[in-house]
Amino acid sequence: MKNRIKIIKSPEKLTNIIKELKKRGKSVGFVPTMGALHNGHFSLIKKARKENDIVVVSIFVNPTQFGPNEDYKNYPRTFKEDKENCLNLGVDIIFAPTAEKLYPEGYKTFVEVKDLSDILCGKFRPGHFKGVATIVLKLFNIVQPDTAYFGLKDYQQFVIINKMVKDLNLNIKIKGVSTVREKDGLALSSRNKYLNEQERKEALLLYKSLKSAEQLIKYENVKNSDVIKKNIKNILLSGNIIKNKDIDYIAIVDAHSLAELKKIKGDVLIALAVHLGKARLIDNIVIRKVK
């Protein structure tokens, strides 16, 4: 038998409900999303369901994290299917506010995590992580979760949210959940819906290039970042669609500070962002304890 699910649009109403639940000693797990839910989101929800009394999922396409020429208007919106999936996964509350509720007329306050927001994806999407940090903090204040769950495919976002929580003394535990992939290795993303059949095949080069880099580091003891980056680039360009101009970045950085690494050592994040047709795809792998 399916559980009943509450759909709440009012921030004030949700805060009051959570307050009452917490008075009764209930723990609250929170999964913030922009909807168009897929197996990656499901893995976050399942973990939240396993670890908490109450699970809240927000579905809100946040306008402040999209640039002027990005896909805010066309971003997939599939609320009916999202609701059904949340119901099947045992979600207790869907928070689905309007933009007017969260950004009323005259809104002027934003949150920015300096330095971490200006590199990698932030370099190519100015203001993106300011929008992300702002909406996540607003959602945290409304939902008051004990634990919030984020996918590690958006690794830079995960690092930024952790830093914000630490710097602003928020009493919330942040948990990262491993990237969920298709059987052929493609990282799940709501933007994969933009890919045609040929682009979908070409997208596999992202993961192939990352696995090749992992092989070189782990088993061939290559420690020079430039050599690894060149190898990744050659694989990305080996298909028929991706060109030099389509690659935003190939980065090898410290997995904790996101500082660039010339010599590969410690916990290492290898991340890339590539334009493929209408989609901008990101992917990464983390290699631990490289000596």
pLDDT in tens, 96-144: 999 999 999 999 999 999 999 999 999 999 999 999 999 999 999 999 9
Q: What distance in Å separates the CA atoms of residue 147 and residue 52, rounded to the nearest whole number? A: 8
Dmax (CA) of the chain: 59
By the 10 Å C-beta count (0-12 exposed, 13-18 middle, 19+ buried), 25 is classed as: exposed
- Pick the catalytic residue from 41, 128, 256, 275: 41
Mean pLDDT, rounded, of the chain: 97
Q: How far is CA 113 from the centre of its chain?
A: 16
- The domain 190-290: what is its CATH number? 3.30.1300.10
Average pLDDT for residues 70-81, to the nearest whole number? 95
CA-nearest of 259, 281, 279 to 269 is 259
Collapsing DSSP states into helix, strand and coil, what is residue 206? helix
Average pLDDT for residues 20-26, to the nearest whole number? 98
**E strands, the chain, in order:** 6-8, 28-33, 54-59, 93-95, 147-151, 173-177, 247-254, 266-276, 279-290
Residue 1 has pLDDT above 50, yes or no: no
Residue 2 has pLDDT above 60, yes or no: no
Name the superfamily (CATH) of residues 6-177: HUPs (3.40.50.620)
Beta-bridge mates of residue 284: 271
The answer to whether residue 41 is catalytic is: yes
pLDDT in tens, 222-263: 999 999 999 999 999 999 999 999 999 999 999 999 999 999
Average pLDDT for residues 48-57, to the nearest whole number? 98
Collapsing DSSP states into helix, strand and coil, what is residue 111? coil
pTM across the whole model: 0.96
Q: Do the domains 6-177 and 190-290 sit in the same CATH topology, yes or no?
A: no
Domain spans in the chain, listed from the N-terminal domain onward? 6-177, 190-290
| pLDDT at residue number 170 | 98
Q: What distance in Å separates the CA atoms of residue 50 and residue 45, rounded to the nearest whole number? A: 9
Q: What distance in Å separates the CA atoms of residue 284 and residue 270, rounded to the nearest whole number? A: 5
